[in-house]
């Protein structure tokens, strides 16, 4: 009886016999170096890459996937998403609170997350405006295996000086922006806001530093960074330029979000400090529809010109960049992923070579996310987040619009 029980326990405890998958890859891109290796075998087991090379032996019984005519690379990442935002027409943050329930926004966010994954984005950082921590729950649902989706970083509520990103709200309406923002106006309040976000499940932190005539001091930024770093989280800060951006860079933020007005001097300071630029380089056709986004943005023509110039200068100066989109709209006839990939044309127009753009979408984003050595490369020990295209994105980055194969944590989620 005891023996029988022990046997039953052993059987129960034994992990399911995982099958090995072997990918025959015609061309494997290493985005970190831009190098291409031909005719490689990639072995995948238990969600991870176990071996890569030209002479790797395919074990008996392995499932074999043929990508010998494809360009194979690690999954793409978007460092600046708002998956649960999606206004048809001009963005109006308060309108989303009033006209869409958190349940509807959760469903929209899950839809957008899955759409992004199908297009090859296996990792995203969702930077707030998520209807009271809805993105945290989307992340949890994906992590529990209820739904397939990208690996997510979620920042929860955006920490900002009083008022969040809402303007001209009459006093009798109350501080209802706190649905998506936390007011924090001293270093101690900033620390508390970081702790509250972590408590409610955030695994990254987002600040908006300069959306009002008043902006965060270096000391306030440093308080957020030290509190977040102690807990193993990184900090991205929305800031456009000037003294506010200097405070963000010197305060030790991991990334500057947007940075539309960064001078050469500030870009050089970022390079020196290792601050990553997530430039959210909006396509003009999106800006036109967004309008001023309720007073957050200058007119489309001005922003568009400035973005191209700043992206070009940041690349020339050698600032480390990660690809981030900030899509917050619904455009007729386009999916969320279509709109994310619209940004590629802006990078090309700004003179960024395709290899550098791909690196910003993989290697650099993974580093910013704290995933170095875990995701973002095709190498033994990394998560098996693998995509393939029929043509070479190092020649024409638009090849990324035609991702034909997606593997996420070893599971095939899109196949030719």
Binding stretches for Zn ion (CB under 5 A)? 326
Q: How many other CB atoms sit within 10 Å of the CB of residue 218?
A: 16
Closest-by-Cβ residue to Zn ion is: 326
Least gap, CB of 325 to Zn ion (angstroms) = 9
Distance of closest approach, residue 356 Cβ to Zn ion, in angstroms? 23
Order of strands across the sheet that contains 386-389: 48-53, 35-45, 21-30, 63-74, 386-389, 405-408, 411-414
Please give the Cα distance from 37 to 242 (Å, whole number): 44
Distance separating the N- and C-terminal Cα atoms of the chain: 52
Nearer to Zn ion, 40 or 197 (CB): 197
Considering the complex, state which of residue 295 and residue 373 has its C-beta at the smaller distance from Zn ion.
Answer: 295
- Count of residues making up the chain: 416
Please report how close the Cβ of residue 161 comes to Zn ion at its closest, in angstroms: 17
Q: Answer yes or no: are the C-beta atoms of 249 and 266 closer than 8 Å.
A: yes
Of the pair 94, 326, the CB lying nearest Zn ion is at 326
| Least distance between Zn ion and beta carbon 270 (Å) | 19
Between 206 and 320, whose beta carbon lies closer to Zn ion? 206
d(CA 311, CA 360): 12
Task: Tell me the closest approach of the beta carbon of residue 337 to Zn ion, in angstroms.
Answer: 17
| Inter-helix orientation angle 134-143/102-118, to 10° | 50
Nearer to Zn ion, 237 or 387 (CB): 237
CA distance 6 to 13: 10
Closer by beta carbon to Zn ion, 280 or else 364: 280
Compute the distance between CA of residue 269 and CA of residue 277 in angstroms, rounded to an integer. Answer: 12
Nearest distance from C-beta of residue 83 to Zn ion, angstroms: 11
């Amino acid at each position: 009886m005891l023996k029988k029980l022990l046997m039953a326990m052993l059987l129960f405890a034994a992990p399911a016999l995982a099958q090995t998958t072997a990918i025959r890859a015609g061309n494997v891109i290493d985005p970190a170096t831009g190098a291409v290796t031909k005719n490689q075998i990639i072995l995948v087991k238990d969600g991870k890459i176990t071996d890569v090379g030209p002479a790797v032996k395919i074990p008996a019984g392995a499932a074999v996937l043929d990508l010998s005519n494809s360009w194979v690379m690690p999954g793409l990442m978007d460092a600046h998403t708002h998956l649960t935002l999606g206004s048809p027409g001009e963005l109006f943050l308060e309108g989303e609170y009033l006209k869409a329930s958190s349940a509807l926004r959760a469903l929209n966010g899950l839809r957008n997350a899955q759409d992004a994954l199908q297009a090859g984005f296996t990792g995203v950082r969702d930077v707030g405006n998520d209807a009271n921590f809805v993105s945290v729950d989307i992340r949890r649902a994906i992590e529990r295996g209820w739904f397939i989706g990208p690996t997510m970083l979620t920042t929860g509520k955006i920490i900002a000086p009083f008022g969040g990103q809402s303007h001209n709200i009459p006093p009798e309406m109350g501080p209802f922006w706190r649905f998506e923002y936390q007011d924090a106006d001293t270093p101690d309040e900033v620390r508390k806001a970081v702790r509250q976000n972590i408590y409610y499940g955030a695994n990254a932190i987002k600040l908006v530093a300069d959306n009002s005539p008043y902006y965060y001091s270096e000391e306030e930024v440093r308080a957020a960074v030290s509190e977040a770093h102690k807990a193993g989280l990184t900090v991205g800060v929305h800031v456009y330029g000037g003294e506010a951006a200097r405070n963000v860079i010197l305060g030790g933020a991991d990334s500057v979000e947007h940075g539309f007005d960064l001078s050469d001097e500030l870009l050089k300071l970022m390079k020196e400090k290792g601050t990553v630029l997530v430039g959210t380089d909006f396509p003009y056709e999106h800006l036109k529809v967004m309008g001023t986004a309720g007073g957050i943005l200058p007119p489309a023509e001005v922003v568009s010109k400035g973005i191209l110039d700043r992206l070009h200068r940041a690349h020339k100066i050698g600032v480390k960049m990660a690809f981030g989109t900030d899509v917050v709209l619904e455009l007729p006839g386009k999916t969320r992923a279509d709109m994310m990939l619209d940004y590629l044309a802006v990078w090309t127009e700004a003179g960024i070579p395709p290899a550098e753009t791909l690196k910003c979408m993989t290697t650099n984003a993974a580093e910013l996310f704290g995933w170095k050595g875990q995701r973002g490369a095709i190498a033994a020990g990394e998560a098996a987040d693998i995509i393939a295209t029929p043509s070479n994105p190092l020649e024409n980055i638009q090849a990324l619009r035609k991702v034909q194969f997606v593997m996420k944590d070893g599971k095939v989620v899109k196949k030719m």
